[in-house]
């Protein structure tokens, strides 16, 4: 579909304030991004430029949001692709897709007058899995092309390019990806703690009529182990229950129903894959 080809399908106007919890990950990421911003000093000190940041952690914790916020924070072009897009590609197509991704980043930066670009690759493990025993051969060229492009990045060129990749399975990655000068900065994005869950709920409550009687602290307390994506679902489902009740506001009972629903949904998902 055209959506798949359009790597730029996600314009990024997302900021770090739109991401709940994750304070440590956000700070670590900002610190790393300063390498992109303070490029002149980096060069003066002869510091190796930062080319790749790896975001690791469970699904739905906000890794994609982080990458988009990073683009906004550094005033960069945002270009993205997902490892799973390469799955059904013929040999050689994946490699040219990688080349195109870098080309697009450079041409869009030139067109839009930006001097840096962030290329986000979600599910990097799909193309960057360990290459032992002749497995993943169909992805070898794709991975090699990515490594070649990364090695070809220079700080003196405009736009400066930073690759942000995400994975739920860091231990699966080929060591070639993790070498210095490649994805050598790792940031763990964990499931949110209670305070983080409250913050995420508040973010997603912004455009919703939540009753003052409903306690987000209670909802956060009852959603131990939920990801940001699941909390977004809870907020959405609670609004649907309230609407079905013809209630003008979302009440505590709607949140209780929504939590059960999201929990059950996860359970059936898991059972169906067993």
Q: Enumerate binding residues for ligand ATP (CB under 6 A).
A: 19-22, 59-65, 122, 166, 168, 200, 203, 228-229, 232
* DSSP secondary structure of 89-134: PPTTHHHHHHHHHHHHHHHHHHHHT-SEEEEEEESTHHHHB--GGG
Pick between residue 76 and residue 233 the one whose CB is nearest to ligand ATP: 233
Name the nearest CA neighbour of 38 among 49, 26, 25, 53: 49
Name the nearest CA neighbour of 215 among 198, 194, 191: 198
By beta-carbon distance, which residue lies closest to ligand ATP? 228
Minimum distance, C-beta of residue 101 to ligand ATP, in the bound complex (Å): 18
> What span, in angstroms and rounded, lies between the C-alpha atoms of 226 and 217?
14
Minimum distance, C-beta of residue 76 to ligand ATP, in the bound complex (Å): 18
Pick between residue 42 and residue 262 the one whose CB is nearest to ligand ATP: 262
Q: Contact, 20 vs 69, CB < 8 A?
A: no
Residue 139 parent element (H or E): helix 137-151
Minimum distance, C-beta of residue 39 to ligand ATP, in the bound complex (Å): 27
Pick between residue 74 and residue 227 the one whose CB is nearest to ligand ATP: 227
> What span, in angstroms and rounded, lies between the C-alpha atoms of 214 and 265?
23
Pick between residue 34 and residue 193 the one whose CB is nearest to ligand ATP: 193
Minimum distance, C-beta of residue 55 to ligand ATP, in the bound complex (Å): 8
Minimum distance, C-beta of residue 238 to ligand ATP, in the bound complex (Å): 15
Pick between residue 21 and residue 128 the one whose CB is nearest to ligand ATP: 21
């Amino acid at each position: 579909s055209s959506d798949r080809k359009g790597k730029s399908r996600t314009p990024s106007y997302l900021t770090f304030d739109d991401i709940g919890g994750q304070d440590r990950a956000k700070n670590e990421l900002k610190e790393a991004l300063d390498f992109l911003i303070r490029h002149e000093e980096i060069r003066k000190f002869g510091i190796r430029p930062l080319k790749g940041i790896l975001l690791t952690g469970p699904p739905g914790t906000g890794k994609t949001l982080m990458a988009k916020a990073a683009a906004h924070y550094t005033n960069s072009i945002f270009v993205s692709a997902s490892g799973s897009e390469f799955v059904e590609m013929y040999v050689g197509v994946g490699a040219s897709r990688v080349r195109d991704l870098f080309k697009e980043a450079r041409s869009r930066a030139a067109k839009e007058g930006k001097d840096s670009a962030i290329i986000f690759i979600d599910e990097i493990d799909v193309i960057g899995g360990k290459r032992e025993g002749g497995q993943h051969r169909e992805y070898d060229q794709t991975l090699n092309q990515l490594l070649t492009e990364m090695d070809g990045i220079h700080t003196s060129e405009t736009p400066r390019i930073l690759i942000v990749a995400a994975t739920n399975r860091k231990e699966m990655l080929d060591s070639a990806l993790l070498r210095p000068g490649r994805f050598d900065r790792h940031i763990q994005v964990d499931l949110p703690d209670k305070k983080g869950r409250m913050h995420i709920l508040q973010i997603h409550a912004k455009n919703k009529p939540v009753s003052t009687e409903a306690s987000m602290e209670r909802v956060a307390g009852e959603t131990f182990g939920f990801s940001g994506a699941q909390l977004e679902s809870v907020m959405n489902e609670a609004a649907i229950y309230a609407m079905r009740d013809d209630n003008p506001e979302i009440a505590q009972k709607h949140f209780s129903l929504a939590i059960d629903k999201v929990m059950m949904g996860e359970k059936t998902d898991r059972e169906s894959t067993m």
